[in-house]
Structure 1
């Protein structure tokens, strides 16, 4: 049985599953803003493009060749402005009794995990589970903690304090400029010192770190368009040199930005 390429149809289909595991792959996936929550644990792999997962008060970036693990009954929604998004997910009705499986994780998929995901695509949208599928996906599930490297993780916090919302909106619209704490304090109607203190308490990161995260997010979106060189992207997101951008990108993503396939 298959279903249409909409999140509503997919969600309704998941609600009626009876198998212990389920594989779903769709090329050129179209996103919407609907929120999902279901009884299955979820492993998402991004074969091409990138996705944002909005979970609780954080936005997780999952770039190409990365996976995100989402515990059961965790409300989430996905968005993306990527030109093309080819996602794959595997659902599990149960998971081992370890802390790993009850937390959200984003990490680069090593070659062996990518090969396992590709092999599992042979069961795409199958609503019955054969013995090979059961054993293979059980082995994949049990191996996930060994594949996970939480050194990477671009997580953009979403504050709940109403005074901080316009500050974040301003940064999101003006990330390419030098934004001072004094200017942001005026927007929040408080002193720069109080803003910095409250922002850190609310989000766990500093204002400067938030600006850095937004710049890297925007750079990934620009890289995906394949319209600009890395030097052009560096200036567009607010860095004065390619080296400064590359160092900032590496500090977040743990890899250097790639110019493959971009404008020469």
Structure 2
């Protein structure tokens, strides 16, 4: 057996297969300055990841979910996922649960902003970091977190970018991902997909559930979040860098997707 890699607190032996040698019902794994690889993996524990600093992208089921700072993502047991991030520093807390309550909430991927009370609970839970022996307080506390998640979530739909399964659309997405500063040119995109503009618009909407214009908007907002994270630019600069004609147009677009106004974080 070659050296196992730790991922989400579990030992990976080979081919994204995991050895869950931990008997406990639930445990937490805190990681400062998280380094991830680019492999898809799955495990037989449900996962709650809290992004304490930075942001992460989770690639799951033909979708890319953005999980910014002070947000959590819930991933059901057995669901394959892959993680990427361009953030300078990523601090994560990963909670892993063997069993969950019988509620539809736990069967689907969920991403939501962490309300203050949940944030305090998650941070308090860090005192059990990587503790594998039984602990009664921890057991009760983690159950309380788990039980309250559906109430904390309240149907918050966060930024998720659909990835089409139809291979003809991949060059279209790749092109928009690289040229998001510019307005859409439907003719050029149709040529890339080798279909008519009307077919492209119809098939793209069927595949992703959104229009090309909406896809462009999502990509621009995603890029703006990466630029905000660098702390190198003003919001006006970021607006122009992501293809908006004015700061107000950018702010309105950002608010429509993220339900909050963009803010440049100062270097601490």
Q: TM-score, normalized by length of structure 1?
A: 0.94
Q: Does the 8 A contact of 1:215 with 1:237 survive in 2?
A: yes
Q: Matched residues in 2 for 1:161 and 1:38: separation?
A: 27
Relative to structure 1, is the Cα distance of residues 48 and 9 closer, same or farther in structure 2, using a 3 angstrom cutoff? closer
5+ long unaligned stretches in structure 2: 13-17
Range with greater deviation from structure 2 (47-56 or 181-190): 181-190
Q: Matched residues in 2 for 1:45 and 1:9: separation?
A: 14
5+ long unaligned stretches in structure 1: none
The yes-or-no answer on 1:165 pairing with 2:170 is yes
Q: Matched residues in 2 for 1:207 and 1:62: separation?
A: 23
Relative to structure 1, is the Cα distance of residues 234 and 6 closer, same or farther in structure 2, using a 3 angstrom cutoff? farther
Deviations 1:143-172, CA, capped at 9 Å, x for gaps: 001100333411111111111010000001
The 5-angstrom pairing of residues 105-120 of structure 1 reads 105-120=110-125
Shift of 1:48: 0.4
Q: 1:209 aligns with which of 186, 209, 214?
A: 214
**2:7 corresponds to:** 7
Deviations 1:222-249, CA, capped at 9 Å, x for gaps: 0000000000000001000000000000
**2:15 corresponds to:** none
Q: 2:67 aligns with which of 59, 62, 65?
A: 62
Shift of 1:8: 8.6
Aligned length: 260
The yes-or-no answer on 1:154 pairing with 2:155 is no
Secondary structure, counterpart of 2:92 in structure 1? strand
Q: Matched residues in 1 for 2:251 and 2:8: separation?
A: 39
Q: 1:192 aligns with which of 194, 197, 206?
A: 197
Deviations 1:51-77, CA, capped at 9 Å, x for gaps: 000111101000000000010000001
**1:125 corresponds to:** 130
Q: Matched residues in 1 for 2:257 and 2:120: separation?
A: 26
Secondary structure, counterpart of 2:213 in structure 1? helix
Shift of 1:9: 7.4
Shift of 1:260: 2.7
**2:21 corresponds to:** 16
**1:42 corresponds to:** 47
**1:101 corresponds to:** 106
Q: TM-score, normalized by length of structure 2?
A: 0.93
Q: 1:27 aligns with which of 23, 28, 32?
A: 32
The yes-or-no answer on 1:248 pairing with 2:256 is no
